[in-house]
Structure 1
Amino acid sequence: MSPRPLPRPAPPSFSGRLHDPRTATAVGRLLGAAVAVCFLTGVVSHYLQQPPGWLADRLPGRPVWGYRLSQGLHVASGLAAIPLLLAKLWAVYPRLFVWPPVRSARHALERLSVAVLVATAVFQLFTGLLNIVEWYPWPFSFVPVHFAVAWVLAGSVLLHVAVKAPDIRAHWSRRSAGTLALPDEDAADRRSLLLAVGAAAGAVTVTTVGQAFTPLRSLDLLAPRHPDVGPQGVPVNRTAAAARVTGASLRGWRLEVLGPRPYELSLPRLASLPQTEATLPIACVEGWSVSARWGGVRIRDLLERAGAPAGAAVRVVSLEARGAYRVMEMGGEYAGDPLTLLALRLNGQVLSADHGFPARIIAPNRPGVLQTKWVTRLEVL
């Protein structure tokens, strides 16, 4: 008796007729644009946050709003890509369940590339979503893994586009290369689908981008931060309590500046030095940003007093007991910038404890995690 053939598994079924190459291509155009913006701005963000040694002294402080723009675009494009990715998967899902799953070596490689593409896209977008709400239900460090997988995603996208180039070219518009219009009885339904998907992506963008683009802050309904809600009108990610900076640890605080001519300053003595005020944005890696008026002493003046040579970099040490950014290094371009301050005041008031009292770093075009709070020591490098 011959063995009975294995039954073919039935793929999940959704109503609708638009699981076709043209729909997939139309959604893919939008998704590709969002992923490209997200990837490029993510690379900028990473190298501003963790520059390699050869780049550390060359990072520019201008424009002062550069990081605010790039990180705002990064988070906004990533959020907009989520509904676009779901629509793309809906359009192509029958092809994910073809039977037999592998027909040849070439088909196996194509299936493997698609699996990598889908897995990395889902991983990047949804771990990024959890990052902006500061929830980390995984054992690995988010930043290096997110950056590494971004390159895998970029490579898998390029490979997928290369493999599917003939299909993409044929279905890019109603006319394939130089031929008459292709018949399309589902054009009206497809337009409705694309309008719905575009509206979903637009709604996500409009209700979150206000955390960085403050003219739309009144529509900031879904973002985890509101740009004008927080102590002294500026949001806070890490509080003094979370950093274990207490009144006892601040008692007798003095700023230590180490260099060829090391010295120490008490807070009253620091406040008596020539003061500078600057309006600068503080922009967080989670996507929120806001401009504020900061007042304090220029870092370059403090370093010159310690005998630092021109263009010297500086290491900044916080009172924070522990944390990934307790110690921060700042290249010569930032340290010598006249707008880089050891800030003592925010919006005309003495810094609150959650904003880094008694002193914090504020520098132009720099990620918020590197605007070190509760500064206790500067070291000329």
Structure 2
Amino acid sequence: MEGMRSRLFPPAFKGRLHDARTATSIGRWLGLAFVVCFVTGLISHVLQHPPGWAVGALPSRPVWGYRLTQGLHVASGVAAVPLLLAKLWTVYPRLFAWPPVRSVRHALERLSVAVLVAAAVLEVVTGLLNTAQWYPWPFSFVPVHFAVAWLVAGSILLHLAVKAPAIRAHWSRRSPGTLALPEEDGPDRRSLLAAVAAAVGAVTVTTVGQSFTPLKGLVLLAPRHPDHGPNGLPVNRTATEAGVGPIAADRYRLTVAGPRSRTLTLDELRGLPQYEAELPIACVEGWSKTAHWTGVRVRDLLDLAGAPTDARVRVVSLQTRGGYRVSEMGHEYARDPLTLLALRLNGEELTPDHGYPVRLIAPNRPGVLQTKWVGRLEVLA
């Protein structure tokens, strides 16, 4: 008889803190993390995949712009992991509310929550795996991640609209709606919130050093250390992975295609005026580091080819595999005096994995667009 009763009736949750007050408190932090992640993600996407009309309008300054926004994007996404888990823990008993559907409005509300939870979990999990460059799924990460971000944003707005009365009632300690909550839950609630804050702090401090280098000594959970790699800099894609074999210095040629096209040998590039720049390289996976680059200014090469000052430039790599073999720069980037075709990194000749013999380095530009193994510059009208 008791077994039959348990099958007919939903489970009774008697644990404390599965209440609206706790859910609202954690929801505020989670909402802030999602807002920062969404806004910085939009910036990253526009810089990484600019619409055609925006290519010439994107700014090359500040030089650390992309490093800051992408670092915040990954840090806020990592912080969202314990916050999302805590939020789901506070509300999961409502999944077993009885009856499961009380009205059309209630059914739509539950459907919206299901979409929000599924989209949020998918967005956080795929983003986290992307930082480790692990893609155990059949779809392309970037377009799906970008589309799901909009789905999460829309679902959050819908959820806030539906839950506005409850959120308003439990937003602060002085809210009238909080008077009905048991006073004895106060210390436990504060302990829970302190534990969640500690978890957020722990995962942030042990990962953010991959971009905020003063904390690089505490990098324990991040998949990259900013000091580990050839020339003292990490590498995402090696020459082997890109299909670039050994390049003999005497056989290398750089073509600058424009009104007065030029073909330059490596010795001729070395013979041109050399400039130095302290620029960060910042990758979409979240790591970044400032390095010392030496090479030829792109603007000088464009002048040799007779390029107009407002021309865009297409940069073509010698790589044969993988994405981002070709990238484009607007005139803001191409004419910036800090934009170089680098020949040396941190005082040493480039290694093959860092793009030997020539790679692009430009300010405020995603790492995937800092093209390695450059073989051709094309002046675009």
TM-score, with length taken from structure 1: 0.95
Q: Distance in 2 between matches of 1:66 and 1:350?
A: 27
Matched, 1:153 2:152: yes
Q: Distance in 1 between matches of 2:312 and 2:283?
A: 23
Q: Deviations over 1:235-288 (max 9, x none)?
A: 001011111211158761100010110010000000100111000000000000
Matched, 1:185 2:175: no
Matched, 1:28 2:36: no
Offset, 1:73: 0.4
Matched, 1:265 2:241: no
Counterpart for residue 172 of structure 1 = 171
Counterpart for residue 319 of structure 2 = 320
The change in CA–CA distance for 1:48 and 1:12 in structure 2 (over 3 A counts) is farther
Q: Distance in 2 between matches of 1:113 and 1:156?
A: 7
Counterpart for residue 193 of structure 2 = 194
Counterpart for residue 119 of structure 1 = 118
How many residues align structurally?
377
CA RMSD of aligned residues (A): 1.9
Q: Distance in 2 between matches of 1:250 and 1:98?
A: 71
Counterpart for residue 236 of structure 1 = 235
The change in CA–CA distance for 1:11 and 1:269 in structure 2 (over 3 A counts) is farther
Gapped regions of structure 2 (runs ≥ 5): none
Offset, 1:330: 1.1
Amino acid of the residue matched to residue 90 of structure 1?
Answer: W
Offset, 1:323: 1.7
Q: Deviations over 1:282-311 (max 9, x none)?
A: 000000000000010111111111111011
Q: Distance in 1 between matches of 2:53 and 2:166?
A: 43
Identity %: 72
Offset, 1:174: 1.0
Offset, 1:11: 5.0
Gapped regions of structure 1 (runs ≥ 5): none
Q: Secondary structure at the match of 1:270?
A: helix
Q: Secondary structure at the match of 1:143?
A: helix
TM-score, with length taken from structure 2: 0.95
Counterpart for residue 219 of structure 1 = 218
Q: Distance in 1 between matches of 2:118 and 2:96?
A: 15
Counterpart for residue 135 of structure 1 = 134
The change in CA–CA distance for 1:6 and 1:185 in structure 2 (over 3 A counts) is closer
Q: Secondary structure at the match of 2:37?
A: helix
Paired residues of 1:169 and 1:177 also in contact (CA < 8 A): no
Q: Secondary structure at the match of 1:291?
A: strand
Q: Deviations over 1:151-180 (max 9, x none)?
A: 010010011011111101110111116997
Paired residues of 1:58 and 1:331 also in contact (CA < 8 A): yes
Paired residues of 1:20 and 1:92 also in contact (CA < 8 A): yes
Offset, 1:97: 2.0
The change in CA–CA distance for 1:231 and 1:11 in structure 2 (over 3 A counts) is farther
Q: Deviations over 1:179-202 (max 9, x none)?
A: 979653200000000000000010
The change in CA–CA distance for 1:216 and 1:329 in structure 2 (over 3 A counts) is same
Q: Secondary structure at the match of 1:242?
A: coil
Offset, 1:100: 2.4
Bigger drift between 44-53 and 92-101 goes to 92-101
The change in CA–CA distance for 1:347 and 1:179 in structure 2 (over 3 A counts) is closer
Paired residues of 1:174 and 1:182 also in contact (CA < 8 A): no
Paired residues of 1:285 and 1:369 also in contact (CA < 8 A): yes
Paired residues of 2:249 and 2:266 also in contact (CA < 8 A): no
